[in-house]
Chain A
Amino acid sequence: MTTDSGTLAPARAGIAWIGRARRRSILLAGSGLLALVAVLCVGVAMGSVAIAPLDTLAIVTHRLFGIDLGRTWPASADTIVWDLRVPRVLTSMVVGTALAVAGATFQGLLRNPLADPYVLGTASGAALGAAIAVLLPVRFVVLGFGLLQGLAFVGALASIYTVYRLSRIGGLSPLTSLLLTGYAVGSLLAAGLAMAMYLSGAALRQIFSYLLGGFDAASWPQLAGTLPLVGVGCVLILMRARSLNGLLLGEETAAHLGIDVGRERAILLALASLITAAAVAVSGLIGFVGLVVPHVVRLVVGPNARLVLPLSALGGAVLLAVADVIARSAGEIPVGIVTALIGAPFFIVLLRRSRTGYEL
């Protein structure tokens, strides 16, 4: 902190930091967009079946714009590129966006650097819902969504609602109460999940693959169902970036800034949970993205939610899409393993290099 040399020096340093943050955020956004386009191209061009890049290009332009590039390809190539690869890459991006934005929101909301989209029991709720769906002898698919996606979505939202309601009873401060209630309810649901898995017999494999997460089942209808929820949720959260910034300063300060703390917290909690539920319903439980992407962004551009939220959205999309491409090329290993394998070392390097004091 300041020791001598007048009072202007820290202020100047602060202004310089804000200027740097702006330049850095533009740089980050630009490289993020480039990476997004690159991974989209790689993800669509690459797969377990080799399809000539020109054929892939022709298929996509034919499907998108109806332009015929004068090439012919087998019908199976069309299905592979357009019905398997394109929706899969896009779904991984949408889910990555949802998890990163939800993570940034929860971290700010709970003022806890360890918060992630699953911190309040969402993951256990979704997993229990999915496990129950697997055990029920009912199979139906409506618009690409089966019972599993439906119950995972409902389970995630029901668990967060329970946590929120329970946390309002009792005399603890709201944040502590939320975190602890979330942990307690999450543990209870995890016990239910363990029981369901114990009783599941041969269905265990399916529950297990849900717990590891992945994009095997991605399809256009699923994307069409998920994208609006995630898109609208992220935009609404972004519109509340000011509240999130205020809440970061502490409840009292936020209240002095004219923020209705209780209401804003409830709304942000609901929105972040909604996009988390939409994401885990289609992808299963993918860890790490929601925890680390917001931190990486903050390390680069500082804690301003107006920058952190959109850049996290971009970063989450890139990271998860890249991770899924790697997971696919490594023979369909679970994507959550890849996100941690490439994300954790990167994160550690960033932490060691960062010279700015880092506070949430």
Chain B
Amino acid sequence: MFRSPRSSRSASPTRRTASLALALLFIVAACTSGGTAILSPAPATTAASAIPSTASTATSTPTPAPSFPATLTDDEGTAVTIAAEPHIIVSLAPATTETLFALGVGDRIKGKAQDVFLYPPQAGDVPDVATYDSVDVEKIVALAPDVVFAGGNFLTPPDAIAKLRSLGLTVVVLYAPSVDAVYRDIELTGQIAGRSTQAGAMVDRMRSEFETVRAAVAGLPVPRVFYELDATGAIYGPADKSFLAEMIKLAGGTPITTGSANKYDISVERLIQQDPEVILMADAPFGVTAEQVAARPGWNVMTAVRTGQIRSIDDQTVTRPGPRLYLGLALLARTIHPEASIPSAAPIPAVPDRQ
């Protein structure tokens, strides 16, 4: 996984613990864990501005004037008022950056969080105002944004969110622990950006693509799948009821989970006892190979190792809770069921900005 430039300097027990925990940090940061977020209903998003019954008119008629000011509830239950359609946006969550670009308002993003797996490429032109663990509050204040999108569940440090709010900025915290929550976040983002119609259409498209995959894997055997996030030290995989576990289920597999709602490490014993039939290496980009996996002590008894069902997978589309999620699901389904034909979906085209 990523190596941190930091190192612990003192030998006190506290510091040593801290440095030991650093490895864990990145694993957990890369995942979305379930259970902790307050899932407030976002009522306004679907009702008023849902897709008109004559969907085909979407391109010919102008978008209905979005209603501003709008008061809505973010994923942490905070009521946020958006005074007018925002023209300067800061996005501190890579998934939200993707959503905003896909909704055609990418040019309004004036600051973003650093993203190793940058998408779309145009996002590279947006200056970074945050790294994986720190937020440059000064830079954000200087941009004078109309709205700041932050990541919940500690993706954006809660201190930084409180700080931005205390300085009078409008901050919307988004966190999607499930596929349904991803849909809701996209609709919420669309409502805030004044692109409700486009967001609704995007979600409809995603739903139908998810349905396509579900139909394609229906009736296929359902193998036990271990999705390996990292195994350089301890072995990390999806927690129970996590977003990742849900995706594996939707892709026609039985996820082997850690047995805990918020822990991502799994013991070899548990893994052997659960006996994966397919092992997916999300850590393949970091140099892990199937031979290495098979050579690990004790792993040779697992069905997946004996039958050679160890495959690498591009983790980003599978785990990033944004508009490309259906591509991730299709990829996951194809990787779990290489023999089946899963229709490959075309990427959602960005909505051209109306001007």
Contact = CB atoms under 8 A, between A and B. Distances in A.
B21 A76 contact: no
B269 interface: no
B21 A208 contact: yes
B18 A79 contact: no
A201 B139 CA distance: 29
A194 B17 contact: yes
B14 A201 contact: no
A206 B21 CA distance: 12
A281 to B, nearest CB: 13
Interface in B1-35: 5-6, 9-10, 12-15, 17-18, 20-22, 24-25, 28-29, 31, 33
A276 B13 CA distance: 19
B71 interface: no
Nearest to A220: B166
Given A141-B162, A204-B21, A49 B139 contact: yes
A84 B137 contact: yes
B133 A209 contact: yes
B229 to A, nearest CB: 14
A216 B160 contact: yes
A268 interface: no
Nearest to A219: B166
Contacts of B136: 48, 332
Contact of B12 (A123, A209, A331): A123
A333 B6 contact: yes
B29 A49 contact: no
A208 B29 contact: no
A194 B142 CA distance: 38
A74 B25 contact: no
Interface centre among B21, B133, B139, B239 (most CB of A within 10 A): B21
A137 interface: yes
B97 interface: no
B18 A208 contact: yes
Interface string A69-83: 000001111011001
A113 interface: no
A118 B12 contact: yes
Given A208-B18, A336-B9, A216 B137 contact: yes
Contact of A216 (B9, B12, B155, B159): B159
Interface string A40-56: 00000001110000000
B289 interface: no
B36 interface: yes
A235 B263 CA distance: 47
B248 to A, nearest CB: 19
Contact of B141 (A79, A139, A194, A209): A79
B6 A337 contact: yes
B133 A205 contact: yes
Contact of A337 (B9, B18, B134, B166): B9
A340 interface: yes
Given A79-B141, A137-B36, A287-B9, A124 B14 contact: yes
A216 B25 CA distance: 20
Given A118-B12, A193-B17, A204-B25, A84 B36 contact: no
Given A219-B166, A336-B9, A76 B141 contact: yes
A211 interface: yes
A75 B17 CA distance: 43
Contacts of B159: 206, 216-217
Contacts of A127: 14
A83 B165 CA distance: 13
B12 A206 contact: no
Given A83-B167, A332-B136, A204 B12 contact: no
A187 interface: yes
B157 A206 contact: yes
A118 B15 CA distance: 12
Contacts of B259: none
Contact of A79 (B17, B139, B158, B167): B167
Interface centre among B17, B31, B157 (most CB of A within 10 A): B17
B291 interface: no
B262 interface: yes
B272 interface: no
A198 B10 CA distance: 20
A217 B22 contact: no
A308 B153 CA distance: 46
B146 to A, nearest CB: 13
Contacts of B10: 287-288, 340
Contacts of B139: 48-49
A202 B154 contact: yes
B134 A216 contact: yes
A285 interface: yes
A278 B204 CA distance: 53
A75 B13 contact: no
Interface of A: 47-49, 74-77, 79-80, 83-85, 118, 123-124, 127, 137, 139, 141, 144, 146, 186-187, 190-191, 193-194, 197-199, 201-206, 208-209, 211-212, 216-217, 219, 285, 287-288, 331-334, 336-337, 340
12 contacts: A49-B141, A76-B144, A84-B137, A84-B141, A118-B12, A124-B14, A141-B166, A194-B20, A204-B28, A216-B157, A219-B166, A333-B5
Given A79-B168, A202-B36, 16 more contacts: A49-B139, A79-B141, A139-B158, A144-B166, A146-B162, A190-B17, A194-B17, A199-B263, A202-B31, A205-B133, A206-B157, A211-B18, A217-B159, A287-B10, A336-B9, A340-B9
5 A-B pairs closest in CB distance: A190-B13, A201-B262, A49-B142, A202-B154, A211-B18
